[in-house]
């Protein structure tokens, strides 16, 4: 709970910075973003390694291509490549500036390399992206001027020639096949058929004579004639068959040549389709540049968030190193003594007398109510310890001491008490100015003249209140405040009033204040919110305890809070009085409860 309250108070104290820092950062980011010119981006895409045109992509080749792609990614941004682009496009920039204008992204899964170029001119962005892509292709061994590319050009030329030869061969084969079919389907030659028919008839006639001829010599002659006629018949028939066989032989030769040519063409196609592993191709050149989104909302949001984080860091650092007292919790943790009240912030009224004191000038204000609550607590305290004389001072500065004591005195007399207000700040007196009194005679004169009865000045507009000014300024204030005469004077003043309130100089700056604090019934320490230091307050409390002074409590002046919020008790060692006894066995850090103080009112 305490930790939560601590952070809530921290946010309250630094809310101005926590709001101003992100707002300023966001406004600055918005203005800077709007001042920037429009930027255009163009991109060109390339493929590295075996492309989609490879009929049988090899896994090792694909892996090698992925590794080569990382190399080409670095080559794009090298100084020679950038310088070459600058020279080709006549760019009026340095290589380092061009490097800032381009980004290269490699996608190892698809082997696609993307080159992006940004420029204020869309055409210039397109030219830079395409020129970089061309330079990268030129660096590849399979580039347009490489030996591999020249070999492919020759292969394509041979493929074209071979394709023409195949087309001519197929045409000749078609022609020979037509001639063969025509020869097979052609009608017989009438002359040849007449010769064959007459020859066959002659053979039959000779064979008939041979069967009827009894003479052996005649039979031999007939047989010779039959053999001669049969040879003539065979020759006549062979002429027609020889023409068909010649056509078939030519057709067979042409088909053999066609097969060889087709086999050679297939080998050439395979050679052309086998792509190189180390090659770069442009698959998508840059055509048009598009305006790049400024991401204004994101920039403003990030700037605001950064401002908030920075403000929070500054607040935490200041909270860590700053020991000023801001809240009641800070005061309780620092001093470990009762907190009587907090006095809300207010604008000090102008004027003197009742017009210069908030309880009279602004009776309805929170500060006036805080003073009245403080007076009630002091008058109706339940600790059974009479407070006839109270010293009010601060640790280092006395800006609020006299004002606090004066307003407190007025609230006490408003409840019917008689109060004597003593200005013991002999070097910087303030009560005379606040109450518009003559400060020429007062405390110093009484202490030096040894007058038996002190002369106090009653305040006409505050019945029951009397003021003892400081008198003339004295250089030996320590001797006066620490003298036995001062103790005697306090006792005399106690007989004249219900309470004597002494305004003393800062306790850490004047030793006389510490001596006087140990000789009165109680001490009230005034701390100013946002100004008093934790270390100074701790030192003040330690000094007072070492002298046996009874610390009634503290007042937090100029506070953002009003009244006395609950503060958990903190263990505080008992304070011995001058006679060696413990001053109080009640926890000193517990705030005095309103109900306890107001009992009997």
Are 392 and 264 members of one domain?
A: no
Q: Is the dihedral of CA 85, 90, 91, 93 positive or negative?
A: positive
Are 546 and 399 members of one domain?
A: yes
Cβ-based neighbour number of residue 197 at 10 Å: 12
**Cα–Cα distance, 461 to 400 (Å, whole number):** 22
The chain-wide mean pLDDT, for the chain, equals 78
Are 124 and 203 members of one domain?
A: no
Are 499 and 389 members of one domain?
A: yes
Q: Which residue has the tokens 């347009």?
A: 144
Q: Using an 8 Å Cβ cutoff, are 448 and 527 in contact?
A: no
**Cα–Cα distance, 347 to 558 (Å, whole number):** 10
Q: What is the pLDDT of residues 22-41, one digit of tens each?
A: 899 999 988 887 777 788 89
- CATH number of the domain that residue 551 is part of: 3.40.50.300
Are 115 and 226 members of one domain?
A: no
Nearest to residue 313, comparing CAs of 22, 2, 102? 22
CA trace torsion 350, 351, 355, 359 (10° rounding): 50
In this prediction, residue 36 carries a pLDDT of 74
Q: Is the dihedral of CA 251, 257, 259, 262 positive or negative?
A: negative
In this prediction, residue 585 carries a pLDDT of 35
In this prediction, residue 54 carries a pLDDT of 55
Q: Is the pLDDT of residue 554 over 80?
A: yes
State the total domains in the chain: 4
* 338 or 123, which is more confident: 123
In this prediction, residue 289 carries a pLDDT of 86
Are 502 and 380 members of one domain?
A: yes
Are 423 and 468 members of one domain?
A: yes
**Cα–Cα distance, 280 to 134 (Å, whole number):** 10
Are 360 and 451 members of one domain?
A: yes
pTM of the shown model:
0.52
Q: Using an 8 Å Cβ cutoff, are 383 and 584 in contact?
A: yes
Are 183 and 258 members of one domain?
A: yes
Are 266 and 373 members of one domain?
A: no
Tell whether 479 is covered by a domain: yes
Strands 522-528 and 419-423 come out as: unpaired
Range of the domain at 221: 178-274
Tell whether 8 is covered by a domain: yes
Q: Is the pLDDT of residue 594 over 60?
A: no
Tell whether 170 is covered by a domain: no
Q: What is the pLDDT of residues 208-234, one digit of tens each?
A: 777 777 776 777 777 778 778 777 766
Q: What is the pLDDT of residues 475-510, one digit of tens each?
A: 788 888 888 889 999 999 999 999 999 999 898 888
Tell whether 575 is covered by a domain: no
**Cα–Cα distance, 340 to 553 (Å, whole number):** 6
Structure-block tokens of residue 304: 């605001």
- CATH number of the domain that residue 104 is part of: 3.30.1890
**Cα–Cα distance, 545 to 487 (Å, whole number):** 19
Lowest mean pLDDT, pick from 55-69, 315-329, 471-485: 55-69
Tell whether 10 is covered by a domain: yes
In this prediction, residue 55 carries a pLDDT of 54
Are 269 and 289 members of one domain?
A: no
In this prediction, residue 34 carries a pLDDT of 75
Tell whether 585 is covered by a domain: no
Q: Is the pLDDT of residue 529 over 70?
A: yes
CA atoms within 13 A on the CB side of 50: 16
Q: What is the pLDDT of residues 402-418, one digit of tens each?
A: 999 999 999 999 988 99
Are 344 and 315 members of one domain?
A: no
| % residues pLDDT > 70 (the chain) | 75
Tell whether 106 is covered by a domain: yes
- Residues of 218-243 as b/e, b for ≥16 C-beta within 10 angstroms? eeeebeebbeebeeebeebeeeeeee
Tell whether 48 is covered by a domain: yes
């Amino acid at each position: 709970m305490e930790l939560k309250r601590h952070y809530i108070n921290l946010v309250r104290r630094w809310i101005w910075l926590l709001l101003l820092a992100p707002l300023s950062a966001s406004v600055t980011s918005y203005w800077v973003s709007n001042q920037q010119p429009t930027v255009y981006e163009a991109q060109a895409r390339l493929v590295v390694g075996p492309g989609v045109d490879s009929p049988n992509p090899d896994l090792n080749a694909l892996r090698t291509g992925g590794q080569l792609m990382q190399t080409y990614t670095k080559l794009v941004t090298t100084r020679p490549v950038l310088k070459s682009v600058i020279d080709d496009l006549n760019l009026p920039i340095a290589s380092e500036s061009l490097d800032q204008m381009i980004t290269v992204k490699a996608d190892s899964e698809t082997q696609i390399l993307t080159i992006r170029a940004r420029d204020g001119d869309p055409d210039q962005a397109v030219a830079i992206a395409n020129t970089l892509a061309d330079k990268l292709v030129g660096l590849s061994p399979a580039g347009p001027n490489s030996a591999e590319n020249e070999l492919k050009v020759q292969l394509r030329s041979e493929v074209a020639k071979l394709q023409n030869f195949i087309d001519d061969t197929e045409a000749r084969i078609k022609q020979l096949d037509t001639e063969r079919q025509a020869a097979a389907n052609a009608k017989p030659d009438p002359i040849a058929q007449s010769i064959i028919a007459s020859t066959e008839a002659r053979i039959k006639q000779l064979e008939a004579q041979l069967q009827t001829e009894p003479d052996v010599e005649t039979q031999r002659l007939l047989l010779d004639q039959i053999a001669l006629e049969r040879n003539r018949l065979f020759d006549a028939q062979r002429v027609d068959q020889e023409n068909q066989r010649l056509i078939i032989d030519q057709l067979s030769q042409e088909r053999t040549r066609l097969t060889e040519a087709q086999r050679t063409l297939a080998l050439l196609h395979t050679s052309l389709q086998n792509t190189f592993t180390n090659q770069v191709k442009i698959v998508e050149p840059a055509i048009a540049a598009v305006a790049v989104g400024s991401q204004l909302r994101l920039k403003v949001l990030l700037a605001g968030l950064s401002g908030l984080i920075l403000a929070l860091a500054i607040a935490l650092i200041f909270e860590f190193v700053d020991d000023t007292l801001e809240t009641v919790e800070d005061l309780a943790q620092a001093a470990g003594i009762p907190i009587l009240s907090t006095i809300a912030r207010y604008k000090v009224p102008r004027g003197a007398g009742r017009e210069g004191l908030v309880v009279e000038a602004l009776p309805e204000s929170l500060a006036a109510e805080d003073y009245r609550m403080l007076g009630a607590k002091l008058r109706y305290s339940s600790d059974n310890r009479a407070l006839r004389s109270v010293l009010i001072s601060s640790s280092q500065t006395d800006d609020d001491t006299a004002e606090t004591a004066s307003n407190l005195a007025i609230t006490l007399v408003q409840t019917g008490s008689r109060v004597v207000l003593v200005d013991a700040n002999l070097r910087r007196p303030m009560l005379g100015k606040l109450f518009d009194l003559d400060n020429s005679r007062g405390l110093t004169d009484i202490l030096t003249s040894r007058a038996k009865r002190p002369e106090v000045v009653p305040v006409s507009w505050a019945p029951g209140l009397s003021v003892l000014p400081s008198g003339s300024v004295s250089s030996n204030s320590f001797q006066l405040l620490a003298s036995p005469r001062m103790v005697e004077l306090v006792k005399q003043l106690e007989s004249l009033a219900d309470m004597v309130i002494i305004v003393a100089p800062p306790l850490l700056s004047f030793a006389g204040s510490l001596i006087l604090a140990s000789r009165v019934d109680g001490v009230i320490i005034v701390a100013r919110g946002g100004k008093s230091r934790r270390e100074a307050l701790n030192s003040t409390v330690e000094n007072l305890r070492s002298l046996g002074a009874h610390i009634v409590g503290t007042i937090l002046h100029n506070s953002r809070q009003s009244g006395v919020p609950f503060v958990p008790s903190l263990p505080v060692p008992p304070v011995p009085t001058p006679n060696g006894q413990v001053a109080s066995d009640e926890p000193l850090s517990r705030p005095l409860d309103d109900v306890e103080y107001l009992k009997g009112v």
